[in-house]
Amino acid sequence: MTIIEYQKKCYRDYKKSINYPEQYTYLYGNPIQPVVPVETAIGKVMVVGAYPSARFYTVDSVREVPLYDSDAPFSNETYFDGSRLRSNPSGQELNEVILEQIGVRREECWITDLVKVFLFNEDQVNRYKKLGKGNMVENRSLFMDYGKRSIDWLKEEIDLADPRVIILLGSEVIRTILDVSETEARKMMMGEMFDMEISWKAYNIMCLPHPKILMKKISKNPWPLKFEVSIAPQARKEIKKLLR
């Protein structure tokens, strides 16, 4: 299978394969579609996030309303949201908080998400209710269910990408793919490399905190300092050995 064949297949078949409700649409009826990988470097670094962001707008004075799919996982796109120009924060967070710190260029990456459709949390559902769409149901809590059904899709991507290292971002992704507890997942987010057999081949795996948790620089969150002092230097050293 080629990359374009995979992209077409994923876009066409993914929602049905994970039992994502077809009737889920954005506020104005736009369908929620799979966000397929578009940055697809071969033989380098695969980055696996949780699920795609969306494009958020201000609607009738209600801010941060998801209205359309992003154009790619961890998108860098810039758009006008009804009140200002903005960039999708997920792309900037990946670039500045993770990749720059571990010495990886974005063009060296196959960038994807485990779950490939946008998921609505309670706050987003409540914003829809304020705007008159009361039939939307929260599905963020179903991430791990959708994630388990998405693992075969990820395996197909891994076969295509043939990465030197697979970086799993965040405890939810780690728990779902590696089938470990939350406590174990957090212990694994230290920037160290280990082997895992996927589709009959051993791959180098690295677990890192999700960039969102690294952005929360509050006294009760130890991850930003831990990442700067120990995790990122360790990851940088491991990746440098692999990619040199």
CATH code of residue 231: 3.40.470.10
What's the pTM? 0.94
pLDDT of residue 236: 95
Provide the residue-wise pLDDT of the chain in tens; the chain has 244 residues.
899 999 999 999 999 999 998 888 999 999 999 999 999 999 999 999 999 999 999 999 899 999 999 999 999 888 887 777 877 778 888 999 999 999 999 999 999 999 999 999 999 999 999 999 888 899 999 999 999 999 999 999 999 999 999 999 999 999 999 999 999 999 999 999 999 888 778 999 999 999 989 888 888 899 999 999 999 999 999 999 888 7
Q: Give me the domain span that covers residue 99.
A: 3-243
pLDDT of residue 110: 98
pLDDT of residue 135: 84
pLDDT of residue 194: 92
What HEC string does the chain produce?
CCHHHHHHHHHHHHHHHCCCCCCCECCCCCECCCCCCCCECCCCEEEEECCCCEEEEEECCEEEEEEEECCCCCCCCEEECCCCEEECHHHHHHHHHHHHHHCCCHHHEEEEECCCCCCCCHHHHHHHHHCCCCCCCCCHHHHHHHHHHHHHHHHHHHHHHCCCEEEEECHHHHHHHHCCCHHHHHHHCCCCEEEEEECCEEEEEEEECCHHHHHCCCCCCCHHHHHHHHHHHHHHHHHHHHHC
pLDDT of residue 36: 97
pLDDT of residue 147: 98
Q: Which residues contact 188 (CB under 8 A, 6 or more apart)?
A: 174, 178, 180, 207
Q: How many domains does the chain have?
A: 1
* Residue closest to 117 by CA, chosen among 241, 20, 235: 20
> What is the enclosing helix (H) or strand (E) of 113?
strand 109-113
